[in-house]
């Protein structure tokens, strides 16, 4: 069951008072094997079929983002790539005469996931 604890922020509030915010307590991590087993208990799918489908979905999400698109998966959220600089390349300063970055200096740095709102409250 999901639960939370109140944690103090490192930054003080407007009036210098301490600010508390809820933080989810984590009790471990689920992996694809466990997810596949749980799905199989309530369906006619075999674990290998579930894992294959999830892996195919991940590949298609990556292909969509590589093509310059965000990818919306109903019930999960929207995946959007964020760019960064490869190791060894500095940021542009915008000064005149500065050498400009090209595609070789840029890479996908991370993937942002905007989650679909989950309405079930935590306890």
CATH code of the domain containing 64:
4.10.520.10
Using the predicted structure, report yes or no on whether residue 87 has a pLDDT greater than 90.
no
Q: How many structural domains does the chain have?
A: 1
Domain assignment present for 35: yes
pLDDT for the residue numbered 45? 96
Domain assignment present for 123: no
Domain assignment present for 14: yes
Range of the domain at 25: 4-92+101-115
Domain assignment present for 122: no
Domain assignment present for 121: no
pLDDT for the residue numbered 118? 66
3-state secondary structure of 93: coil
38-81 residue pLDDT tens: 999 999 999 999 999 999 999 999 999 999 999 999 989 999 99
Question: How far apart are alpha carbons 39 and 47 in whole angstroms?
Answer: 8
pTM tops 0.85, yes or no? no
Burial class (CB in 10 A: 0-12, 13-18, 19+), 7: exposed
Question: How far apart are alpha carbons 72 and 56 in whole angstroms?
Answer: 15
Domain assignment present for 120: no
Domain assignment present for 73: yes
């Amino acid at each position: 069951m999901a639960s939370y604890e109140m944690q103090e922020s490192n930054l003080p509030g407007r009036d210098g008072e301490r600010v508390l915010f809820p933080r989810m307590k984590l009790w471990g991590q689920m992996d694809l094997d466990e997810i596949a087993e749980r799905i199989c208990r309530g369906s006619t799918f075999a674990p290998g079929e579930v894992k294959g489908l999830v892996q195919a979905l991940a590949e298609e999400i990556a292909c969509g983002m590589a093509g310059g698109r965000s990818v919306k998966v109903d019930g999960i959220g929207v995946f959007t790539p964020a760019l960064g600089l490869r190791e060894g390349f500095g940021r542009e300063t915008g000064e005149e005469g500065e050498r400009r970055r090209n595609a070789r200096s840029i890479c996908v740095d991370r993937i942002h996931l905007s989650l679909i709102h989950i309405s079930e409250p935590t306890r």
